[in-house]
Amino acid sequence: MTSSDASPESSGIRGSKPYVVATAFFALLAIVGFALYGLPFFYDFFIKEFGWSRTVVTSGNALGKLIIAPLFGFLAGWLIDRYGPRKLMLAGSLLAGSALIGLSMMNNLGMFYFFYILNALGYVFGGPLPCQVLISRWFEKNRGKAMGIAYLGIGTGGAIVPLISTTLEKNIGWHLALTMIGVMVILFSFPLAFFLKESPRKPVAETRKEPDIPVSKILKNRNFYLLAIGSMCSIGAVGGVNQHLKLYLRDQDFSQSNSATIMSLVLLSSLAGRVLMGMLADLFPRKYDMILIYIIVGASIPLLLMPDFPGRLYIFAVIFGIGLGGDYMIIPLMAGDLFGVKMLGRVMGIILVADGIAESLSPMMVGALYNEALRSYTFGFTVLIAIALTGALIVSFLPRQGTLSENQPKQ
């Protein structure tokens, strides 16, 4: 029996809905939580050892996303729609893990960029895109809850990786610590995907009998651009803060362990955000859930600019973490409402390219706006606030619900 005709009844636990959610959970934990959110912990070590600027250490993520996202984003979506997400998840696991191992051994800027490109490729093939399609194919009624549970992997991975990294760095140095994180990425994400039976016997898209919609029609629909640009704004704001949070905390004279605690609290709070926003997405029109998330992101950043008071950064970590928790998860849910599950891989392939560009350029912008003399992020973070709230405004013009065929004006 092939994976394409496997069903929960015929394939046992490997083809059950809990196994599907668990596979997505651990893939996101490793490839996003560890490989994406774990790397900024090592930025100050890169700066100290190689003498690079803040713009340079954040440019690796930018270069990887700017090269890989446009070249492979739509291709990955097409391959997933045609062949299923399993094989790409396996490739992504190996690429992301190998990238971190390579970064632990690099000693020049060329190698730094090369391994960041591999990491970006692992993210595209094994991260949110295939997991979103996998969940959407298996779930319809409780898709928001299932997506929320799977996306808990990002928060779990992001919460524990700074603590693991701190302990490893203290005992074996940052080089071997990063090597061990890369090995963990493969161990957490590869085995479950390897044994996965990825498609139910009657996929949701077939059950709903969604029509085939040409990509050209999607690209002519204004809702596609509202969703893409709105999500770019929020993802850009989140990426700009995340990539600089460790460096910001070090400017505040936080120790390595205290910095790791704040970073972990952000991702720990994102767990609550994912569950909460996933539940709200099943109860209310997802447009309003999306606006709420973007407002939470924009409203949390000013706490980084306020005069210090007891608990300020912990309050920021909780609020920002809740917004972060729902940010990535709500985009595929909204895309599925607007364009249908059958086209979700291709639609998200394009949108993730746009989001990847925003996520990669935003930290570089913040780094360029950083005031070295005053050790101040004021200007850069203020720009991020404006960007996040602009995203909420743009999303407000989306329809409450309905697929492309329902919203597209008849020609």
For a pLDDT cut of 90, what percent of the chain falls above it?
A: 47
Given this model, what pLDDT does residue 410 score?
Answer: 39
**Which stretches within 140-221 are classed as H helix?**
143-194, 204-207, 215-219
Average pLDDT, the chain: 85
Q: For 16, phi and psi rounded to 5 degrees?
A: -90, 160
**What is the C-alpha separation between 238 and 232, in angstroms, rounded?**
10
**Is there a contact between 140 and 108 (Cβ–Cβ < 8 Å)?**
no
Mean pLDDT of 106-126: 93
Predicted TM-score of the model (pTM): 0.73
Cα dist. 19→93, 150, 192, 206 in Å?
Answer: 18, 11, 8, 21
**What is the C-alpha separation between 60 and 112, in angstroms, rounded?**
7
Give the DSSP letter of residue 221.
-
**Residue predicted with more confidence, 214 or 156:** 156
Given this model, what pLDDT does residue 277 score?
Answer: 83
Mean pLDDT of 77-83: 79
**Residue predicted with more confidence, 255 or 352:** 255
The residue written with tokens 């992997």 in the block is: 153
> 371: helix, coil or strand?
strand
**Is there a contact between 266 and 317 (Cβ–Cβ < 8 Å)?**
yes
Given this model, what pLDDT does residue 4 score?
Answer: 39
Tell me how many degrees the CA angle 267-271-273 measures, rounded to the nearest 5: 105
In tens, the pLDDT along 143-193 reads 777 887 888 888 889 889 999 999 999 999 999 999 999 999 999 999 999
Q: Which helix (H) or strand (E) holds 281?
A: helix 256-283
In tens, the pLDDT along 326-337 reads 887 788 888 888
Given this model, what pLDDT does residue 214 score?
Answer: 65
Cα dist. 308→61, 298, 311, 312 in Å?
Answer: 30, 19, 9, 6
Mean pLDDT of 212-233: 84
For a pLDDT cut of 70, what percent of the chain falls above it?
A: 89
In tens, the pLDDT along 295-320 reads 999 999 999 999 989 999 999 999 99
User: Looking at the predicted structure, is the pLDDT value of residue 197 above 80?
Assistant: no
Mean pLDDT of 258-271: 90
In tens, the pLDDT along 7-43 reads 433 445 555 888 999 999 999 999 999 998 899 999 9
